[in-house]
Structure 1
């Protein structure tokens, strides 16, 4: 079975794009409701954690490990690309590979591509592979995944195993 999914984008200016974004927002709202969480646009802190200031709204070339806290969800509906050399990104989670060819988006008037299918939904850890055709020595590309990050307002409670009842008479008195 092939676990690779190839995706094509439409420009933001097309009517179907608005419907796809609205659908993704509805999915994100539902996840936020389920976990009692807040919904935010994807920001550098969600992708890079402590290194958010280093890259800002650019993608590091190579592999990015995104580690989300428990119960957090990433909902991706599109991509911004202002870099004609950024040709594809891959989202990898649990053996599934979603490969997005994003180079054409750099030539759309608004540089935003919207995926018409259901949004990608990630929990836990996900890898983002970023590839460029540029021969320049650089560490980043000018592209960014578009979507929503949902995190619980309060972290989930730690589940503790039930305590064992004490047995009478052991190590007891006499």
Structure 2
């Protein structure tokens, strides 16, 4: 079963919005410090991987599977929406569903909404469901999550299990005298 969380937005022109963005940045910076990594704004390559050029800064209608590189983190604090038909986004991660009703953001002058709570933090694999009210056969909407991507500067070391010596071999190896 999934736990559902409904997210409501605050327009960017409200004072609390600046505090939300500052808090999200500090959280992202702390994750970057702990991972020994770099922090950058979310880009199409972080969502789509090798298919980033196909969609750019738009979201594919339907379900998007986002597989983050090892030890990477996505911190999302808000949403940009320039599509009057974009209805809602669902982020599904570790048994939790975060529903963002984004339609009103298209009517804000800056078209940006900031989530009132703590930023969403994702690792490993997440799913993004994108829903539109358009009756046209569209493959994308003009909206984009706002936040930060944190990646380690060096990929994590692969953990190797110790190999057992072959039967009849000493731990010192072949041909060594004891």
1:116 to partner: Cα distance: 1.3
* Structure 2 equivalent of residue 111 of structure 1: 111
TM-score computed with the length of structure 1 as normaliser: 0.94
Match of 1:155 in 2: 155
CA contact (8 A) 2:91 2:128 kept: yes
CA deviation string 1:20-73 (max 9, x = no partner):
000000110011001111100000000000000000000000000000111000
What residue in structure 2 maps to residue 95 of structure 1?
A: 95
1:119-134 equivalences under 5 Å are 119-134=119-134
Q: TM-score, normalised by structure 2?
A: 0.92
Task: Output the aligned Cα RMSD.
Answer: 1.8
Check if 1:70 corresponds to 2:78. Answer: no
Change in Cα spacing, 1:165 to 1:102, as seen in structure 2 (3 Å) is same
Query: For 1:73-116, what per-residue CA distance to the aligned partner results, in whole angstroms no more than 9, with x for missing partners?
Result: 00000000000100100000121100000001000010000011
Output the CA distance in 1 between the equivalents of 2:97 and 2:16: 25
- 1:29 maps to 29
Deviation at 1:165, TM superposition (A): 5.5
CA contact (8 A) 2:2 2:95 kept: no
Gaps of 5+ in 2: none
Mapped to 2, the partners of 1:69 and 1:169 lie a distance apart of 39
Number of aligned residue pairs: give it: 172
Distance 2:53 2:2 in 1: 37
